[in-house]
């Protein structure tokens, strides 16, 4: 299982619309509004790195009014026991 966190910066006033859209994507396990440099953080869990990349590039980055994203993905070598 591959886990990634995506930090999302939205256009002003678009947070609720984007939040709702993110909640409808099946591999997204958690989505929260945050304060600071980013507006939303979302957690993706998928069976492979390739699937995570596809979700980010196709589903998330394709949402209108998203300005930018930053993806944090753990290394496969550093799994917790």
Of residues 19 and 80, more confidently modeled: 19
pLDDT, tens digit, 9 for 90 and up, residues 23-67: 999 999 999 999 999 999 999 999 999 999 999 999 999 999 999
Contacts of 64 (CB under 8 A, 6+ apart): 14
Name the CATH code of domain 2-69 (choices 3.30.70.920, 1.10.3720.10, 3.40.47.10, 3.40.30.10). Answer: 3.30.70.920
Q: CA nearest 46: which of 63, 71, 65?
A: 71
Q: Is the pTM of this model over 0.75?
A: yes
Provide the token pair at 9.
């910066």
Q: What three-state secondary structure class fits 44?
A: strand
pLDDT, tens digit, 9 for 90 and up, residues 66-76: 999 999 997 66
Average the pLDDT over 8-37 and give the result.
96
Q: Residue 5 phi/psi, 5° resolution?
A: -115, 130
């Amino acid at each position: 299982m591959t886990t990634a966190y995506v930090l999302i910066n939205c256009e002003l006033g678009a947070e609720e619309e984007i939040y709702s859209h993110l909640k409808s994507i099946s591999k997204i396990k958690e989505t929260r509004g945050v304060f600071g440099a980013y507006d939303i953080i979302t957690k993706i869990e998928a069976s492979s790195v390739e699937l995570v990349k596809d979700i980010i590039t196709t589903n998330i980055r394709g949402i209108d009014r998203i300005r930018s994203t930053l993806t944090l993905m753990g290394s496969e070598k550093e799994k917790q026991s």
